[in-house]
Structure formats: structure tokens, C-alpha cells
Amino acid sequence: MIKKFLSIFRNLSATKPQSDGSSSAHWLTKDDPKNPFVLEGFDCYGFVSSMISTTKDPDLARSFVALRSEDGQTLCNTLPEDSAEIPCSLAYAHAGEIRDGAIFKSSAMEEKWDIYLYDNRVYFCRSWAGTLAFVAELTPAENMFHISRVWASRSVEPTLAIRQVDYLVRSHLYKRHIPHPLPADMPRDPNVVALYSFSQYGRLCCFGSFEDTLSQTVLKSEV
């Protein structure tokens, strides 16, 4: 799955680093003083923050621009292609009204997701082509909301799908700098991890981990 994904990404886009010397991701153990998290993983921040996204496909570039004005209403009552329902138990503190509409829109091609909310369902779409990747069912409660089930393509491992949805909620909606999930079958190659991380999460990610990223306490300063 990983090799197929990376080959598609290489065909669609070309990326180039700026001159900061961050040519790859860097492995950090839990005890490394440079690691602010309680998980071990790859520091991707220097790499993703130095990348510029371009595409050789003019249709894809036009698609990204056109999608900036989309409000996501056409996604209502739809699911990802060949999807499976995945039960889960995710909860997030939230005070205030949750309004329908676009709740996150990529502002540049270096950001990879558009997120919409309609009728208590959250729709997670790729920002370049508009592909619907995940749908999450949201249940509002007092000062919080719950996600009890997620729909994702059957090609995505269920545990990874839940971790990805959780990461997108906390990083893109709550603006938290937290570890992003890496697939279990991904080679522990810094270049592969760096490319995957940027292509999946863009410049908003910072640290990829193979460990469980669902814990609400991921910073050492919070322990």
C-alpha cells in the first residue's frame, strides 16, 4: 500500500526543499532532549516546513484553486468510495456552538485537507482533488463532542483510519502540534517517512510516530 501511494504522489507532484538543510526526517527516541513528546518517532518539522508543492498536472492545480470556494454541501449523506464503518470512541472538549459549513480550508497547496461539517457528520477531503477520505459521526454533548464511528476506504487499516481522523481533528481544528500517525507497514526510512508525512499532512505536521497517537497527553510538559 505504501509503495503504491508514494508512486502516485511522485507522479502527481514535485516538491523541492528551500535552503535550510532539512533534507529528511530525523529519528528521535523518547529520551532524546530534542523530543518534546512522550512517543518516539521521526521529527519531520524541518522537512515539511521547507517544502514547496507543485504539480505537473494543470488539471490538478486548477482543481485545487476551484475547491477553495467550495462549501462542501454536495458531500452531505455521502461516504468514501468502497468504505467500511469503523466503531471508535473519541472525545474532545468543546464549549460553544458547532456550526455547519467549512471548518477548515487549506490556504495553500502545502496544506492537504479541507474539512466540512453538516448534520453532525464531519467530512475530511483531500484539498487538491477533493477526494473524500473519511467521514466521522459527531455527537454533541455538554462542553464536548464525541465521535463514535468513522467511515474510511476498506484499503485503509481501521486502527490507522481512527488515528488519522483523531490527528486531523486535533491538529487542523484545534491547532495543536502533536504527533501524526504512521502506517505500521511503512519502512523505517527517514526519506520515505518525510515524503509520506508531507504528502499526507503537509506543512501542518511535525512529528510522525508508529506508536499509539490517540492519547490526549502527548507532550512531556503535560505529564
What does the pLDDT look like over 116-144, one tens digit per residue?
999 999 999 999 999 999 999 999 988 99
Q: What is the pLDDT of residue 105?
A: 96
Q: What is the pLDDT of residue 22?
A: 56
Residue 138 vs residue 19, higher pLDDT: 138
Q: What is the pLDDT of residue 223?
A: 73
By C-alpha distance, which of 183, 107, 176 is closest to 152? 183
Return the residue matching grid coordinates 510522525.
Answer: 208
Residues 6+ apart with CB under 8 A from 69: none
Calculate the alpha carbon distances from 207 to 62, 94, 183, 198 in Å.
Answer: 30, 25, 14, 11
Per-residue confidence at 55, pLDDT binned at 50, 70, 90? confident
- What is the domain count for the chain? 1
pLDDT above 70 coverage of the chain, percent: 90
Contact 124, 136 (CB under 8 A): yes
197: which 3 cell numbers?
508525512
142/27 Cα distance (integer angstroms): 40
Per-residue confidence at 98, pLDDT binned at 50, 70, 90? confident
- With helix as H, strand as E and coil as C, how does 102-132 read? EEECCCCCCCCEEEEEECCEEEEEECCCCCE
Of 137-146, 150-159, 175-184, the poorest mean pLDDT is in 137-146
Q: Are strands 180-181 and 207-209 parallel, antiparallel or unpaired?
A: parallel
Residues 6+ apart with CB under 8 A from 88: 147, 148, 149, 150, 162, 165
Q: Residue 96's domain spans which residues?
A: 2-222
